[in-house]
Amino acid sequence: MSEEQKVPSKEEVLSFLAEQIEVKSKQYELQELNTKLAVARAEELKALQFIGTLTNPQSSAPQGVPYNLTQEDLDNNPELVEAGLQVGDEVLRSEEPAPAPKSRNLKK
* Sequence ranges of the domains in the chain: 10-59, 62-93
**Confidence at residue 17, expressed as pLDDT on a 0 to 100 scale:** 97
Separation CA 85–CA 76 (nearest Å):
13
**Confidence at residue 1, expressed as pLDDT on a 0 to 100 scale:** 46
| pTM (global) more than 0.75 | no
Question: For the chain, what percent of residues have pLDDT higher than 90?
Answer: 44
| Residue 88 near residue 72 (C-beta atoms within 8 A) | no
Residue 108 binned pLDDT confidence (cut-offs 50, 70, 90): low
b/e map of 3-24 (b: 16 or more CB within 10 Å)? Answer: eeeeeeeeeeeeeeeeeeeeee
Mean per-residue pLDDT, 28-43: 96
51 or 2: whose pLDDT is higher? Answer: 51
- What is the chain's Cα-based Rg? 37
